[in-house]
Amino acid sequence: MKYLLYLLISGFALWIGSEILEIIQGGYSPAVYYMTAAYHILAGFGIWSLHLLQAGKKNNVSLTATILISLTYFALAYFPIQVMQSGLSVSAFIAANPIYKIPGLISLAGFVLFGLAIIKTRYFPAWTGVAIILCTIIYGIAMAKQLQLVVNINNIILSIVIIYIGVLGIGNRNNLQQ
């Protein structure tokens, strides 16, 4: 369990790093693309730790959300590399390849459900579930309106919340028997 939590924290820390680098550079770079790809893989496995911590509460909403998030992260793992190799912006790449809207929308639904699961189980503080839902909604709106700086800052906030609950999970020694 603790190793999954470490993957979760590492993945979301990479996402923070890629977002900060993108802000500093004023756009994407190979480092941002590779960091984002690594984040998808690490977070895709790591998100299961948060579900497993809540699993004792018999939370099917958490299971559904975790499956949606994990599958979309794995589906999108190579996406940043494809965008980089195409030479297009992310929005131009998605316009040319609208199939990528599907995992993006599924991921948004997964995060909203995951926030609801956190609120429902109260294993983690309820405010973290609310923050995840709000960040997910803001992300969807900001992406639709192509407000990249808002997206970057929002992603950093979401990552901090996820890392926070991951650290809470590590702190709960009763659930870290492996």
Distance between CA atoms of residues 110 and 96, nearest Å: 25
Contact at 8 Å (CB) between 47 and 65?
Answer: no
Distance between CA atoms of residues 134 and 154, nearest Å: 9
Q: How many domains does the chain have?
A: 1
In the predicted model, what is the mean pLDDT of the chain? 91
Distance between CA atoms of residues 16 and 35, nearest Å: 9
The tokens 């995840």 sit on which residue? Answer: 132
The tokens 């998030």 sit on which residue? Answer: 69
Task: Report residue 15's pLDDT band, with 50, 70 and 90 as the boundaries.
Answer: very high
Taking the model in full, what pTM does it have?
A: 0.91
Q: What is the pLDDT of residues 108-121, one digit of tens each?
A: 999 999 999 999 99
101: containing domain: 2-175
- pLDDT value at position 152? 95
Which among 1, 55, 18 is positioned nearest to 166, based on CA atoms? 1
- pLDDT value at position 89? 85
H helical segments located in the chain: 2-25, 30-54, 60-75, 79-86, 90-96, 101-121, 126-144, 148-171
Q: What is the pLDDT of residues 140-164, one digit of tens each?
A: 999 989 899 999 999 999 999 999 9
